[in-house]
Amino acid sequence: MSIRKITLALPGFCDRDHPISSPRRIRIFLLIFIASSLCHVSFSQDLHFSQWFNSPLTTNPANTGFIPDADYRIGANYRSQYVNILSMPYKTISIYGDAQLLRDRFENAWLGVGGVILRDAAGSGNLTSTKIYGSMAYHQMLGYSSLLTAGFNVGWANKRIDPSRLKFPDQFNKATGFFDAGIPSSVVLNTTSTSYLDLQVGMNYAYFPSDKIYVNGGFSVHHINRPRETFFASAGFDNRLAPRYIGFLNGSFKLSDVLILNPMAYYSNQAQASELVGGASVNYNLTGEGTTQLMGGLYYRSADAFIPMLGFVWNNFRMTFTYDVTTSSLGTYNNGRGAVEFSLVKHGFFGELNSTRRQSFCPSF
């Protein structure tokens, strides 16, 4: 499984009026057991996108204003996961924007400012997350062929849940084979909403020795203030968010006048849950000036899923679509259909004159 976990109970399988046949019951019990065993860590794990490269501000705050080929960008992401397992599948939406400022005030340097809003709903308990972050980064050229960046963000996060829509393992009636909401549960929530302040920091480095080679890597630490996230007044375990460590490496290599290769790798670790993704995509130039491009790629999340990607570039707009094809044991239950994800990004310049003078760090057509 990926860093996102199935939590509390499996909707659709856990309805009071839903009968379970004997052969199927064994599999359902197994899934419920796995879900229950993960409950103590599931609330402390973050949202994620397969297209981490199209969610720059949530990947690393140092990405704020780190725009190799434009002055500003605006983007949106949508992800839907476990549609054929859960009656209320995971749905994650984000909207973000960032820009480069004060390029004329600093010598070979600039500031990046931006913000992102995330919204996520998961499962029949309607576990809803809302997060709002503002971020800033400082970018400094090192000579003519490299760039060093440091950034941070500050955010407000809220999580809420509807306990009336949840069924817990101790509400399962073995005699009838149903979950019974009339059976009292030992799980008692003290609140249905929790909010906290959240802090992240990160660094990036880019190397571009020629107009055909671009390499970029970064590292970030999320939740450095370790905020408390819990629906209980007290708990027998540490209910502070565990730090999340993210590292990535990507490149862009111009192979010809019509082809650019983009290899990428991403690693995340939090609370003993990790995610490793690697792969590559290509941009194929459909016009002489590169205003229209076709994109295609394939990524692999270790021990979890293959992620094919298709995309299209038109002027300053880039649209990409990915589909998680589950390869783990979960594929037995979801028939390999893990998640659908869509991204839309617009790059732009503050003025036409600036667009003609602006240096592009990465290869372009």
**269-305 pLDDT per residue, tens:** 998 899 999 999 999 999 878 899 999 999 999 999 9
Q: What does the pLDDT read at residue 185?
A: 77
- Domain spans, the chain: 22-357
Residues of the chain with pLDDT under 50: 1-44
pLDDT number for residue 235: 60
pLDDT at position 89, please?
78
Token pair of 323 as six digits: 């589909």
pLDDT at 284 (0 to 100): 97
pLDDT computed for residue 13 by the predictor: 31
C-alpha distances (whole Å) from 70 to each of 23, 113, 189, 224, 336 are: 57, 14, 48, 30, 38
Q: What is the pLDDT of residue 359?
A: 60
- Topology (CATH) of 22-357: Porin (2.40.160)
- 294-315 residues labelled b (16+ CB within 10 A) or e (exposed): ebebebebeebbbbebebebee
Contact 273, 303 (CB under 8 A): no
